[in-house]
Amino acid sequence: MKIFKIIFCLLLVIFAVGFNTSAEKLNVQVYETSASGNNLVQLDNFSDATNENRIQVVLQPKQTKQTITGFGGSFTEASAYLLNKLSKKNRDSIIEAYFGESGAKYSLTRTHINSSDFSLSNYSYAPVEDDKELKSFSIQEDLDDIIPMIKDAMDVSKDGFKILSSPWTASPWMKDNKNYVGGKLLPKYYDTWALFFSKYVTAYKNEGIDIWGFTVENEPLGNGNNWESMHYTPDEMTNFVQHHLGPQLRHDYPDVKILGYDQNREHLNEWVDSQYKNEETSSYFDGAAIHWYASTYHFYPEELQYAHKKSPNKYLIQSEACVDSEIPKWKDDAWYWKKEATDWGWDWAPEKDKPLHPKYAPVNRYARDIIGCLNNYVDGWIDWNMVLNKQGGPNWFKNWCVAPVIVDENADEIYFTPLYYVMSHFSRFIRPEAKVFKVNYSDKDLMITAAVNIDGSITVVVFNEKENLKKINLTLNNKSVTIDIKGQSLQTIVI
């Protein structure tokens, strides 16, 4: 009888240990994109279960940071024109891939006001000279391409998405050089240009499209006088918003946001110093927008933190990024993982800045930048063109670039590059209103970010840029799970 009691007690211990082990295990789904061939593939087996050499990754969801606005890409005339050239089947598949429930579920987008370099020609919604009341204003140019693309996206988007609109230039007649390229807005047209923004909101609203916000000017420091542009100093932009654009929109459309700056991060400090100088200058600014073109590897954490500390309750949105000065590689996934891409700075940056522009792997640049931004208070991240062709256009200036989706419009073929899947790792799983929070880990070869969604689910994104496999032990509230992340791979872990 005694031996049976001993056996019974042992069984109870075994059962209790087993039960506790089960309770302490974190229930996760793991999705991977890798140089070895996975493209947002859900892994069935993601660990060899050994605990040897595990990197401890501890989630701290109570230590929250910024609230997410969204992730997405841009509605450009180039992208919309190409979609019009494709079969309905391929057009629909691209729209679904970006906005549908089975796809990336983009939540934050951008478009251009008037023409940009990724237009087929130069145009303005107000071409009639000295029309100060903008009686000639018309968005006719957008009715055949950009607006149908936006409406198609709206039709498949379950949660909807925000649109941030940016002018590259005012109408040439409003500028001191009377040109689409370069020059400055003449002070006598400040009120007219402010009215232009309001007219744009009204025109799009009449088409059933709400505009969430504006940036005041795309790249106010200029682009080397190559394509549409208009220059401001920081104080000139602040003055325009404080005394003209802000009051106009506050009166007509008080919920529409205004973001300042909208260019590379290395000059962010001086712009936020101007727009957030005091209550009077900052009252109409809802935040700042930034681009990534200052470097192919550096995401400028100090500048991002400075902007956040300057005004912690304002938006800080990455509004444009792309693999620039490159013709896309067609159906060659491997190229996107190799450090062979070059950017504008490889050829044209001043010698002192050349070290900021080495060759890079496009996947690495996207993953590193998005994670680096999220860990330094950026709340939204917008890619540039959603669709380009095999040449990297169309672009009236022949400023060729790469998009996550490349098409051969003549053969009616489409190619989802690895960049599309990188964007999906974030946009699909980190939803608007999610809270970014602190993660503790010690291995500097990894980049990790995490956020808790409003439904309580937690998303952790891990990037292993190195070639060797890494083993992590992910811990949340005394529950843990072991996960292996192979070299050159990006993983999204959903808890």
Sequence-distant (6+) residues with CB within 8 A of 398 are none
Question: How much is the pTM?
Answer: 0.94
Those residues of the chain that have pLDDT short of 50 are 1-23
Residue 50, pLDDT score: 83
Q: Amino acid identity, residue 172?
A: P
- Please state whether 160 falls in left (phi above 0), alpha (psi between -120 and 50) or beta: left
Q: How many whole angstroms from its chain centre is CA 335? A: 22
Residue 51, pLDDT score: 80
Residue 151, pLDDT score: 98
Residues 181, 229, 143, 100: is their CA dihedral positive or negative?
positive
Give DSSP secondary structure letters for 259-306: EEEEEEGGGHHHHHHHHTSSHHHHTT--EEEEE-TT-SS---HHHHHH
Interatomic CA distance for residues 51 and 231, integer angstroms: 57
Residue 20, pLDDT score: 37
Structure tokens of 26? 């974190």
Residue 24, pLDDT score: 86
Residue 3, pLDDT score: 45
Residue 11, pLDDT score: 38
Residue 52, pLDDT score: 82
